[in-house]
């Protein structure tokens, strides 16, 4: 069975992270699993975790009165779920739900934030990596806003 540090090292988010930093981060992680349909986190509750998905898919959802739960995005193996823990007020903005059996590394972000505050270089490194994830998600969201599949030549 792989250690948390080994699992973390395999994730694209943490690619090429120096071993000492890998150990520091991994010290705040633990293996978890969620059954199909189980909730990982709920909107407007404290965001004191983030997840590195090892297996399965997670949907980010929000409840729209009159329309029900709307899926905002789906994330899969290798993806990181959650950045609300990075910024005050540290609360989730959406629901996270397992679409199937999910195995993940769950990080205690109170533990992690303490380490980042005492090690600004690690903090900058991790923030840069999360910023890249944010950039990619923002790009995808902007492209979806264009509603491109309705954009065909008329004839």
Partner 1 sequence: MATFSPAEAPAEGRAMTPRPFAVVHRRREAPGIWTLELEPVDGEPLRPLPGQFTMVYAFGIGEVALSVSGVRDGRLIHTVAAVGAVTTAICASRPGTVLGVRGPLGNSWPLERAQGSDVVVVAGGVGLAPLRGALRHLLANRGEYGELVLLYGSRSPAGVLYRAELERWRRLGMSVDVIVDAAGPEWPGQVGFVTELIPPARFDPDASVAMVCGPEIMMTHCARALLDRGIAAEDVYVSLERSMRCGTGHCGHCQLGPTLVCRDGPVYTYDRVAPALHVREL
By the criterion CB under 8 A, which residues form the site for partner 1?
Answer: 12, 57, 59, 61, 67-74, 76-78, 99, 136, 139-141, 143-144, 146-155
φ/ψ bin of 30: left (φ > 0), alpha (ψ from -120 to 50), beta (otherwise): beta
Please report how close the Cβ of residue 112 comes to partner 1 at its closest, in angstroms.
Answer: 25
Please report how close the Cβ of residue 151 comes to partner 1 at its closest, in angstroms.
Answer: 5
CB nearer partner 1, residue 1 or residue 67: 67
CB nearer partner 1, residue 38 or residue 136: 136
Residue 77: Cβ within 10 Å count? 14
CB nearer partner 1, residue 110 or residue 141: 141
Following DSSP, what letter does each residue of 65-87 receive, concatenated? TTTEEEEEEEE-TT-EE--GGGS
Please report how close the Cβ of residue 132 comes to partner 1 at its closest, in angstroms.
Answer: 12
Per the document, the length of the chain is: 155
CB nearer partner 1, residue 73 or residue 125: 73
């Amino acid at each position: 069975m792989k250690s948390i540090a080994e699992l973390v090292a395999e994730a694209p988010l943490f690619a090429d992270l120096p071993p000492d930093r890998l150990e520091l981060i991994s010290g705040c992680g633990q293996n978890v699993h969620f059954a199909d349909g189980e909730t990982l986190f709920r909107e407007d509750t404290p965001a004191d975790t983030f997840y590195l998905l090892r297996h399965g898919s997670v949907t980010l959802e929000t409840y729209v009165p009159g329309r029900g739960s709307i899926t905002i995005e789906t994330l899969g193996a290798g993806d990181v779920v959650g950045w609300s823990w990075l910024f005050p007020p540290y609360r989730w903005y959406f629901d996270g739900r397992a679409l199937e059996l999910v195995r993940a590394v769950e990080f205690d972000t109170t533990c992690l934030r303490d380490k980042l505050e005492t090690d600004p270089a690690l903090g900058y490194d991790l923030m840069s990596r999360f910023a890249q994830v944010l950039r990619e998600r923002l790009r995808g969201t902007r492209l979806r806003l264009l509603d491109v599949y309705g954009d065909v030549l008329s004839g």
